[in-house]
Amino acid sequence: MSPVADRPGPRYPEVRKPMFLRRLARTGLGPGPGRPVVARVVTVLAALFVLALLIAPNRLDLLTPAAFLRLPVEALVGVAVVLLLPARARKPVAVVGGAVLGVLTVLKILDVGFSAVLARPFDPVLDWALLDDGLGFLGSSTGPTGQVAAAVAAVVLAVGLLVLVTAAVVRLARVTAAHRRPALRALAVLTPVWLLAAVLGVPVTSASTAVAAGERALQVRTSLLDQQAFTAALTTDPFRDVPADQLLTALHGKDVVLAFVESYGRSAIERPELAGPVTAALATGGAQLASAGFAARSGFLTSPVVGGSSWLAHATMLSGMRVANQARHDALMASNRLTLVSAFAKADWRTAAVMPGTTGEWPEARFYGHQHVYDFPALGYRGPDLGWASVPDQYTMSAFERAEHARPDRPPLMAEIALASSHAPWPLIPPVLGWDEVGDGSIFHTLTTGEPRDAVWAKGIDAVRSAYSRSIAYSLETLTSWVQASGDDDLVLIVLGDHQAAPMIIGPDAGADVPVSIITRDPGVLDRISGWGWEDGLLPGPDAPVWPMEDFRDHFLSTFGPDPAPVAH
C-alpha cells in the first residue's frame, strides 16, 4: 500500500479536471504537466533578450546581424557572480544588476538616435534639454497629437524596459542558481573560449556593456570638467576692450549680411548622390554674380555640431568660442563676450536679426547685440503653414529687403539671417520666383502639394536625399538671386552652413565641415582676405582651407580692424 493510503484521515475519490483545464494544461498555459514548457520558453526568451541587450551596438550604422553573433563577457561574469553569492543576496544583486542594464539600455537607445541625427552619443549630463527641443520639432512637423503620442510612448518605453530587463535578469539568476551544475559546466567551457578568442582577436567576443558603463562614468566627469574650463575661458577676450573707433575700420560704410543656410554641409557639395543640384546652383549663381560685377572667395569651417542644434553653431560663429552643447551656450549667454554683432553695434552699425523659425521670445538677441529682431510674427508671412520651416527663404529675403536693406537714409547695416527652407522635413521646395511676385507669401499656397509635412520620409532614403539637396540648391539660388536684384557696391555677404545634415542622410563619419563664402563687388574687401588662402568662387575645392568655426570671429575682426593678439589657425 502506498504511503498516501496509510495516512490518517478521510479518503476522497479522485476528481478529474474539467476538459477545458486539461486542454489548457496541454498548451503549457495553465496548471498541469505542460507548465514547465512555458517556463522553459520564457527563460529562453529572457536569456535571448538580455543577451541582445548586452551585445547590441549604440550606433545605427553598426546594427547589423553580425553584431549580434558575439559572446558577451558580462554574461559570463553574471553567471559566476550568481553561483558565488549566498542565496539571500542573489535576488537583491540581480535586481540591481537588471536595473543598471535597463538604464544602460535606455541610454543605448538614446545613443542610437543621437548617432543617427547628431553624429555623436547622448551625453547624460548635457543633452536632456535637446530631448525637449526634439519633441518641439516633432510637434511642428506632425502636430500636437503626434507630439503628445511620442512623449507618452517614450516614457512607456523607458519604464517598460526598466521593468522588463530587471524581471528578465532576476529570472535568469534564479534559474542559474537552480541549475548549478549545468551552469558551472557552461562557464568552464565558454570562459576559455572567450579568452582565447579575445587574445587571437577573433571578432566574436564582446564587452560592450561593461565598456559603456565605464564610458558613461568617464563622460559625466569629462562633461563637468569641460564646463568648468569653458566658463573660465570666457573671462579672456582680446577684443573686448578694443575702442569702438578701432573696430572694423576697413568695413566702414559697408552693409554686412551673415546668412546661415540650414544643414548646408560639405557633403552637399562633395557626396555624389547629393552634389548635383547644389554644385549646379553654385556654378550658375557664381556666373550670374560675376556678370553683375560680384566676386567670391570660399573655404570651410568646422562646425561644433552635426545634424542639428543650429543655435550652437550660430553662437560659435558669432562669439569665437566653441559652443558644442547647451551648457556651454547657457554659460556664454551669461557672459560679456564680444560677438561679431556686438562689435558692429559698438562701431555704430545698425544691427538686425532675421529669424523665421523663432516664434516666441528670443532672449539671446540682447547678448548678441541685435538692436532689431524680425521673428516669425514680425515677418508678416501669409503663406501656408509648413511647420517649423514655414517661411520660404525667398520670402525671408524679400521681407528683409523691405524692412531693412532697402530703407533710405539708414546707417550701415549688419544683419544675421537664418534661412530655414533646407530644414527637414522639407515640406515645400518652391522655384525662385520673380521678386515682385513674392508679396506677403500668399503665392506659396499655390505651390504646395497637399501632402503631409513629412511625406518625403515615407518615400525612402533616396527621396529624402533628393529633397535635402534640392532644398540646399533652392536656398543658394535665392541668395544669389537676391544679390543680383538688390546688391550694390557696399554689400558684403557672408554665406555659410550651420552644420552638416544628419548622418542618416550623408552617412556616418562624414565630418563637421561646412562651406563658407564671402561675396562682394569691392576688390578691397577681397584683397584684405587674400592671406586667408580661400579659393575663388562659391565652390570650395577639396584642398580649400579648413578653420574651426570658432576661429572666424578673431580672423574677421583682425583682418578688418586691429589685431590685439595672434590668431591661431
End-of-domain residue from the set 162, 192, 224: 224
The pLDDT assigned to 566 comes to 45
The pLDDT assigned to 220 comes to 65
The pLDDT assigned to 440 comes to 95
Residues 203 and 252 in one domain: no
The residues, any chain, with a CB within 8 Å of residue 379's CB and separated by 6 or more, are: 354, 356, 391, 395, 396, 399
In a domain, 352, yes or no: yes
- With vertex at residue 273, the alpha carbon angle to CA 307 and CA 461, rounded to the nearest 5 degrees, is 60
The residues, any chain, with a CB within 8 Å of residue 287's CB and separated by 6 or more, are: none
69 C-beta neighbours (distance < 10 Å), count: 11
In a domain, 243, yes or no: no
Residues 192 and 257 in one domain: no
pLDDT digits (tens, 9 = 90+) for 393-448: 999 999 999 999 999 888 999 999 999 999 988 888 999 999 999 999 999 999 98
Residues 208 and 313 in one domain: no
Range of the domain at 34: 17-224
- CA dist 320 and 316 (Å) reads 6
Cβ atoms of 74 and 209 closer than 8 Å: yes
Residues 191 and 264 in one domain: no
The pLDDT assigned to 549 comes to 97
Residues 325 and 460 in one domain: yes
The pLDDT assigned to 192 comes to 82
Residues 362 and 509 in one domain: yes
The residues, any chain, with a CB within 8 Å of residue 320's CB and separated by 6 or more, are: 237, 239, 337, 339, 550, 551, 552, 553, 554
In a domain, 329, yes or no: yes
In a domain, 232, yes or no: no
Label residue 242 exposed, middle or buried (CB < 10 Å: 0-12, 13-18, 19+): buried
Residues 446 and 542 in one domain: yes
Residue 465's CATH number: 3.40.720.10
Q: Domain tally for the chain? A: 2
In a domain, 196, yes or no: yes
Residues 434 and 545 in one domain: yes
End-of-domain residue from the set 209, 224, 239: 224
In a domain, 379, yes or no: yes
Report, as ranges of residue numbers, the positions in the chain whose pLDDT lies below 50: 1-15, 20-21, 23-32, 565-569
- CA dist 416 and 167 (Å) reads 54
61 C-beta neighbours (distance < 10 Å), count: 14
- CA dist 216 and 104 (Å) reads 9
Residues 178 and 268 in one domain: no
Tell me, what amino acid is at 455? Answer: A
Cα–Cα distance list, 457 to 140, 460, 464, 465, 471 (Å): 15, 6, 6, 10, 15
pLDDT digits (tens, 9 = 90+) for 525-552: 999 999 999 999 999 999 999 999 999 9
Cβ atoms of 532 and 552 closer than 8 Å: no
Residues 188 and 257 in one domain: no
In a domain, 10, yes or no: no
User: Which has the closest alpha carbon to 356: 286, 262, 447, 438?
Assistant: 262
User: Which has the closest alpha carbon to 538: 252, 210, 282, 352?
Assistant: 282
The pLDDT assigned to 315 comes to 96
Go through 87-111 and write b for each residue having 16 or more CB atoms within 10 A of its CB, e for each that does not.
eeebeebbeebbeebbbbbbbbbbb
Residues 192 and 314 in one domain: no
In a domain, 310, yes or no: yes
Residues 185 and 326 in one domain: no
